[in-house]
Structure 1
Amino acid sequence: MNKLSRSIKIIEKHQSPQGAYIASPNFSQYGYCWFRDGSFVAATMARAGKVESAEKFFRWGFQVIADQKPRIEKLLTTPGELITHKDLLPTRYNLNGTLTQDDWPNGQSDGYGTFLWALGKYAPSEFIKENLELIELVVRYLEKVWKIPCYDVWEENPDGIHTSTLLSIAAGLKAAERILHKETGWVEIVNFIERKLVKDGRLRKSTLSDDVDASLIWGAVPFELFSIDDQLVVNTVKAIDEKLYINGGVKRYSADTYFGGGSWILLASNLGQYYAKTGEREKAEFIKEWVEFHFDAEGLPEQVPEFLIDERKYSEWVNQWGEIAKPLLWSHANYMELLLDLKGKA
């Protein structure tokens, strides 16, 4: 069985009966479904021809949103200045769609944008029509809260407005604009990014940091808010390459100390996709080979503990939570996207 087929099997094995994709089945803290991770996985599965799996996740997501409708409607009537990240919808849920019962940071907005983006890209029209009311509700919610500081995609820095979070929301609102045939706020968000979150001709990590973050590549790949030859994207990728790329792997950001700050499979795959799309196939293939080197009998990990930013932190995290998550379904999804790009599959 080739690695594409193995990745599909791993994802299928760890999709719950309700449709949720568990983040990682073997890691103490990842026994939940994140809207962000799950939406990326669903998009990949649909692209790979596993449409039933993707639709099952979409149905799970809509059921969660329907259950949260009273909370969303309350937020829509709350003055923006009174809303904090503690009031936002959670980004992760139990596999059956219920709320988690813990104190782990959970107020994030990017997952719902990513959900709309995946829907717009891959959900069949009849399925979309069945859920127009809930899609419009999510749009109104995101248009209300996108400027509210919240935790970033790495569950950190709740006091900032984060560029990759805004990219995810803008991508979702852009997709919803096509679905609903009416204007949404995605252009306003992109304009905000270009005005407030650019430094030296490249994207900034957030309102709190001028650092580069590897997730910033999402603006072009996969969200296509910017073209791959847009100078802002070119400059951002150059900074990622110079500061975060090492021998095939990619760090999240330069001060990352989670498990010592290793090299992330899913981010390396995103960078490989970028190079595949720009015609730099040799670079893309090198990254693919690096990813596949770390694909073992269990699957692909979240990150690889090599060229660590802070080696002391690696053992601290292992002692606290156990070994690095493996398999991570999001890693498999992004690896599959890279494979499909290299194969030229639309």
Structure 2
Amino acid sequence: MNKLNRSIKIIEKHQSPQGAYIASPNFSQYGYCWFRDGSFIAAAMARAGKTESAEKFFRWGFQVIAGQKPRIEKILHIKNELITHGDLLPTRYNLDGTLTLDDWPNGQSDGYGTFLWALGKYAQSEFIKENLELIELVVRYLEKVWKIPCYDVWEENSEGIHTSTLFSIAAGLQAAGRILQRETGWVEIVNFIEKKLVKDGRLRKSTLSDDVDASLIWGAVPFELFPLDYPLISNTVTVIEERLYFNGGLKRYSTDTYYGGGSWILLASNLGQYYAKTGKREKAEIIKKWVESHFDAEGLPEQVPEFLIDERKYPEWVNLWGEIAKPLLWSHANYLELLFDLEGKA
């Protein structure tokens, strides 16, 4: 079985009966479903032709959102200045859709935008029609909270407004606008990014940091909020290459110390997609080969502990939580996306 089909099988194996995709089945902290991970995974599965798997996840997502309706409606009636990240919807849930009862940094906003983006890109029209009320509710929620500081996509820095979080929200609102056939707040968010989150002609990581973050690639790939050749994107990719790229792998950001700050499969795959889409096929192939070199009997890991930013931190995390998560379903999803872009698959 080739690596494409193995990736699909790994994802299918670890989708719950209810439709949730577990983040990683063998890692102590990842036995849950994140809206962020799950939405990217569903998008890749739909693109692979596994539409039943994707729709199963979308149904799970709407069931969770329906259960959160009273909380959303309460937030919609609170003054913005009184809302904190503690009021925001959770980012992860148990596989049956119930809330987790722990102190995880749950207050994140990107997952619900990513959910709307994946839904708008891949869900069947009849299924979308069944859930218009809940789509409208999520839109109103995201339009309400996008400026509320929250944890970023790496579940850190709760006091900032983070660029890749805003990309996720804007992409979701743009997709929902097409579904609902009305204006949403996505243009306002993109304008905010261009006015407040730019330095020296490239994107900033957040309102807290002028650094770059590999997730900034999402503004063009996969969210398509900016053209691939837009100077803000190409300048950002240049700095990402200079600071975060190492022999096929990609760091999250320059001061990352999680498991020592290794190279991430899913982010390298995003960069490979950018290369594939901009005609830099040789560079994309180098990343593909690097990713595949770390594919073993268990699958693809979250990150590879090479060219570590802080080697002292690696054993600390292993002692705390165990070995690096493997398989990580999001890694497999982004690997699939890279393969499809190299193949020119729609």
Correspondence for 1:102: 102
Deviations 1:152-199 (A, max 9, x none): 000000000000000000000000000000000000000000000000
C-alpha distance in 2 between matches for 1:239 and 1:177: 32
Correspondence for 1:134: 134
C-alpha distance in 2 between matches for 1:164 and 1:343: 27
C-alpha distance in 2 between matches for 1:43 and 1:340: 12
Deviations 1:11-69 (A, max 9, x none): 00000000000000000000000000000000000000000000000000000000000
Correspondence for 1:49: 49
TM-score normalised according to structure 1 size: 1.00
Q: Is 1:196 aligned with 2:196? A: yes
The equivalences for 1:77-116 within 5 A come to: 77-116=77-116
Correspondence for 1:156: 156
Correspondence for 2:300: 300
Correspondence for 1:216: 216
Correspondence for 2:31: 31
Residue 49 of structure 1 aligns to a residue whose secondary structure is: coil
Q: CA deviation at 1:104?
A: 1.2
Q: CA deviation at 1:307?
A: 0.2
Q: Is 1:180 aligned with 2:180? A: yes
The equivalences for 1:274-313 within 5 A come to: 274-313=274-313
Residue 313 of structure 2 aligns to a residue whose secondary structure is: helix
Superposition misfits of 4+ residues, deviation over 2 angstroms: none
RMSD: 0.2
Correspondence for 2:272: 272
Residue 311 of structure 1 aligns to a residue whose secondary structure is: coil
Correspondence for 1:229: 229
C-alpha distance in 1 between matches for 2:32 and 2:178: 31
Correspondence for 1:338: 338
Q: Structure 1: state its 5+ residue gaps.
A: none
C-alpha distance in 1 between matches for 2:342 and 2:60: 31
Q: CA deviation at 1:255?
A: 0.2
Amino acid at match of 1:112: Y
Q: Structure 2: state its 5+ residue gaps.
A: none
C-alpha distance in 1 between matches for 2:62 and 2:201: 39
C-alpha distance in 1 between matches for 2:123 and 2:202: 33
Residue 108 of structure 1 aligns to a residue whose secondary structure is: coil
Residue 57 of structure 1 aligns to a residue whose secondary structure is: helix
Amino acid at match of 1:47: R
TM-score normalised according to structure 2 size: 1.00
